Amino acid sequence: MNIILPNHLGIIIDGNRRWARARGLPPWEGHRAGAEKLNEFLNWCLELGIPQVSIYTLSTENLNRPKE
């Protein structure tokens, strides 16, 4: 069976704060967990031979959030 894989994947990271809040954790724990998942994802891309990945990590809307 031949599987055609993309040469490029793009992902939008979203919901780390919500994930942490839903578990009663501080926001940085959500970012830590998100970073671990991102690392898993990137390793998966390497294993599959996907040569390019774009990661959208910040919206200008996030810059206006109050500090927690």
- pTM exceeds cut of 0.85: no
Pick the catalytic residue from 2, 14, 43, 64. Answer: 14
Pick the catalytic residue from 2, 7, 62, 64. Answer: 62
Length of the chain: 68
Whether 16 is a known active-site residue: answer: no
Side chain identity, residue 42: L
Q: Where are the domains of the chain?
A: 8-63
Report which of 46, 47, 17 is spatially closest to residue 34, judged by C-alpha positions: 17
DSSP state, residue 7: S
Whether 14 is a known active-site residue: answer: yes
pLDDT in tens, 8-62: 999 999 999 999 999 999 999 999 999 999 999 999 999 999 999 999 988 777 7
| pLDDT over threshold 70, residue 68 | no
Element housing 34 (H / E): helix 27-48
